[in-house]
Structure formats: structure tokens, C-alpha cells
Amino acid sequence: MKLVASGKDTYVYTNNKIIDPAKPSVVFIHGAGFEHSIWTLFSRHFSRHDWNVIAFDLPGHGRSEGPVLDSIEAMASWSIALIDTLGLNSVALVGHSMGSLITLETASRLGDRVTHAVLIGSISPMPVSDPILDATANKPGAAHSMLTSFGFSKKNLMGGNPNPGMWMVSDSMRRYEDEAQSALDSDMRACNAYHRGLEAASEITAPTLMLHGDADRLTPLRATKPLRDALSNARMDIIPGAGHSLMVEDPNHVLDQLKIHLL
């Protein structure tokens, strides 16, 4: 559905359901250069189990009006405005990569309005290398190839998708190509510039799940310790053989963990 949040026309996927504030609600927050459809499997499952599902396109992404927001803090402020626009007093937050940073910042501000948090492929800080930043600014095709290559485990780059007939690498490339170059570049710079993650994490009291692939090459498993230590009420689940693109590399494992954590 379309609505206006912070003065911007915004697309929100709800599985064609009317939002009912009396039901439990889960907000899915996509990563850099993507949009809501990365959450389709998971949002449909929770919708069928009588949850409100809110999978939005951030400003300047997918079907939402631009311009893009240039900081994690601004994205969190916008996300809170959208949650308030929908009339939701309490929500669970699920974020992947950049979306996990938005989840951290949003959860720290909303306090006990957040019932649960899920951080997928998350580290803090989340530095982005100069070659990637140069590519996102000046060579979008190269940026798409680099992020896709490093976004999967080496094993999964060769195929083996659990969904028959789907090639994960091509799907990732098409998703990047469908978005404006400015969105990916701005998102990457926002991740690189965000340094409040550990402070935000220390302020979160909601039960938190960290989901990580043991073959993640963009946010390596060894770099998760500062964030794990900053969270007071967290557990971690490590997915063997998976890289950074967990929702397509092992969707069933991700869904199972979301069900354990949220239901």
C-alpha cells in the first residue's frame, strides 16, 4: 500500500492486509541498495500467522519517493515516523545489514515499544572499503559485481539455491540494477559514517537475535564481538556455509530462527 510518512509517498508491503493495531507487528528493514521484496518469504509467513507485517521501501528505494536519506540516524527517524503513522504502539524490528543499523538506532529510541529485535549480517561499526565507495560513486556496474561477489559465501556463488530454478547471483545483480545509483552510494556512505551503533545497542533492552553466516565476507563473523558484547539481552545463531545474503542463501534457517524468536 502507499501512504505518506514524513511528507514522502511511501510504499509499504503488508501482504494486502489492513494494519490492525491490536495484532502483533513486525517491521522488516532492507539493506543498502535493496527494497522490500527481499523480505517476501518471511513477511508472508508472519502475515499468515495473524501478524501485521510492514516491509517498507526506504525513501528513494523501490516504489518510495526520494530523495534518499543520507544517514542511519535520518533513516531511523523516518522509520519511527512511519511506525507512528501506522498507529503502532509496539513492534518487533528485523533488519539486514544497513537495515540492522537502522534497527539498532530505532530500537534504542523507541525503548520498550520494541518487543523484539533481529540483526541479520550485522556488525558495528560497519566500515565500507574505499574501493567499494569509489565504485558506488563512479562505476555502478563494478559496484554491483563486487557487492554480489562478496555478498555470498564462495560455495553459494557457484549455485545450490534451496529454491529450485533460482540463481542467487543473478537475482542480486538485478536487484542492484533496479535501484538508482545514488541510492546504493548514499547507503554505503551512511553505513560507513555511522558510529553510534554500540552506544545504541547498549540502550536496547528487548530480546535480540543476531543471525550471521560463518562465511560472511562483507561483515565477517570475527567482527561481531563488539556488538554482541554491547547487547544486554541477546543470543546469536550462526548459519554454517552462509555468507552475507542469508535470506536467499538459507531462507529456511532464517525463517526458523525468526519463528523461534518472535512467535
Instruction: Please list the pLDDT of the chain residue by residue as tens digits (263 residues).
Output: 888 888 889 999 999 899 999 999 999 999 999 999 999 999 999 999 999 999 999 999 999 998 999 999 999 999 999 999 999 999 999 999 999 999 999 999 999 999 999 999 999 999 999 999 999 999 999 999 999 989 988 877 776 666 666 667 777 777 787 777 789 999 999 999 999 999 999 999 999 999 999 999 999 999 999 999 999 999 999 999 999 999 999 999 999 999 999 98
- Domain span holding position 251: 2-262
* 8 A C-beta contact, residue 58 and residue 69: yes
The whole model's pTM is what?
A: 0.95
The number of distinct structural domains making up the chain is 1
R_g of the chain computed on alpha carbons: 17
Q: What is the DSSP letter of 243?
A: -
CATH number at residue 152: 3.40.50.1820
